[in-house]
Copies of this chain bind each other. A is one copy, B any other.
């Protein structure tokens, strides 16, 4: 159980040193929000008859994590999974359901930022662990406060669904951006197969590889939940999870499509390179084929033999020009027939 370096992840922003601990409790009537750095203070405010959402941003404060662990009786393996890089998964423990996935956000150029988010869902509580400050949930927090949508009428399992759904919906933004980039590159690659284009295609491919690594296990995890084996998800809410599952399947379909399109881009790039090369070779060949015979002919009459009758001819010089003109014409005719230009 050594602390593992997160194996293949793209370069990410520097970890934010802040630790934020936050508690939102609500039911149909009540709503309150507590932000505290002291975990004991916060845990004392949990409301047994309400939905309690404990959110932790920043995982390097071991003290807080240990207090959460002991309060919610979290298994040591679960805490290991929260702290180390993990493939998305759902796992049932006694007393709670563990769910972990990757959150994508902030796209600059072609860089995508990844963050691992883990959830522990109990009967009346949801604990969420995030690696860094800042998330996609701010708009949703307002919706809870203002009692918009169904969330205040539902239990903690619906809260988990909504959070997963927000994360998955953001994948659509990322994939749409990928789609735009593919179209952008495609417009350039036929005309101008530069090394930059090739570089961009490689970056795209890489993004798709990482996205695949995030999405395939997520579908697996959701399929496990959808099968309805968990006691912490009410049967009436299974349809919502099933809907997220469909979204992830749709995302994977799009991913596969983009993968095929990207590999087509590569084919186009290579073909454009080859076409350009062919063109260069043709220019070389046309020039050589025209001037080599000509240079030979003028070389012949540059020889210094004492006895060369043509040199004495009055119109010898003009005759040579005539012959050379005929050669050029027939060469051009030959290349035209071969459709070289």
Contacts and interface: CB of A to CB of B under 8 A. Distances in A.
Contact of A298 (B243, B256, B299): B299
B278 A281 contact: no
Interface in A1-28: 1-2, 4-5, 7-8
A39 B172 CA distance: 33
Contacts of A85: 250
Given A205-B260, A206-B264, A280-B282, 14 more contacts: A87-B253, A190-B199, A213-B253, A273-B275, A284-B284, A291-B295, A298-B300, A298-B302, A301-B305, A302-B303, A303-B320, A306-B311, A307-B313, A307-B314
Chain A: interface size category = 35 or more
B317 A261 contact: no
A61 interface: no
Interface of A: 1-2, 4-5, 7-8, 75, 77, 80-81, 85-87, 89, 91, 165, 169, 172, 175-176, 179, 190, 192, 195, 198-199, 202, 205-206, 209-210, 213, 216-217, 239-240, 242-243, 246, 249-251, 253-254, 256-258, 260-261, 264, 266-271, 273-285, 287-289, 291-296, 298-308, 310-317, 320, 338-340
A8 B179 contact: yes
16 contacts: A4-B172, A77-B240, A86-B246, A86-B250, A210-B257, A217-B249, A269-B271, A277-B277, A280-B282, A285-B287, A291-B292, A298-B303, A301-B305, A303-B320, A304-B304, A307-B313
B213 A257 contact: yes
A264 B200 CA distance: 12
Contact of A77 (B216, B239, B264, B283): B239
B254 A8 contact: yes
Contact of A281 (B210, B281, B295): B281
A87 to B, nearest CB: 4
B288 A250 contact: no
Contacts of A289: 283-284, 287
Nearest to A150: B76
Given A273-B278, A282-B280, A291-B293, A253 B217 contact: yes
Contacts of A165: 1
Contacts of A91: 242
Contacts of A264: 202, 205-206
A305 B311 contact: yes
Contacts of A294: 296, 299
A210 to B, nearest CB: 7
Contacts of A87: 246, 249-250, 253
Given A89-B246, A206-B261, A305-B316, A273 B270 contact: no
